[in-house]
Amino acid sequence: MKIQGNSHIAVILATTLFISFPLSAHAAPLVKISESSNSQTVLVSKGSKVQITLHSTYWASKKVINLKAEGAPVSVPIMPGPKAPQGCQFAGTGCGSVTWSFIATKAGSASFEAGRASCGEALKCTASQQKFKVLFKIK
């Protein structure tokens, strides 16, 4: 069969788009978690991406249950100096954030816990500032 004119380009383009972007493809939902979710239970769908961002570079994960890690945590420090945000002008304040990414792979319960001992150089955290925990119900 011989295709006339530019119609063969349309056929190639349509075939390429169908192969590259199948009709059933869709992005998994993204659930963003931060300090406001501390001590809360969050409902997520199986297959969802869970992104937890805590705003201090002193946070470290302590325990993760039934969440599949998606790479290493990402720490983004804010460099101290006169142009840094309020409270971040001096070294040792822990300004910045740490982000963990997970996939909710199984239905049921899951959890994430993080902790820190320091809230800045020579600044001990209070008991309520030392712990972060969030529970997940995965459906």
Residue 92: phi and psi, rounded to 5, are 90, 5
The letter for the amino acid at 81 is G
User: Once rounded to an integer, what is the mean pLDDT over residues 113-132?
Assistant: 90
Give the pLDDT score at 95.
92
Give the pLDDT score at 90.
84
Q: Alpha-carbon distance 97 to 30, whole Å? A: 18
**CATH number belonging to domain 27-138:** 2.60.40.2020
Give the pLDDT score at 21.
46
**Residue-wise pLDDT tens digits, 2-58:** 445 554 444 443 444 444 444 445 678 999 999 999 999 999 999 999 999 999 999
Q: Alpha-carbon distance 67 to 31, whole Å? A: 13
**Residue-wise pLDDT tens digits, 62-108:** 999 999 999 999 999 999 888 888 888 888 889 999 999 999 999 99
Domain boundaries, the chain: 27-138
Give the pLDDT score at 10.
40
Give the pLDDT score at 120.
83
**Token pair recorded at residue 63:** 């325990």
Give the pLDDT score at 25.
55
E-strand stretches of 1-139: 30-33, 40-44, 49-54, 60-65, 68-69, 74-77, 96-103, 108-115, 131-138
Handedness of CA 131, 38, 53, 137 (dihedral sign): positive
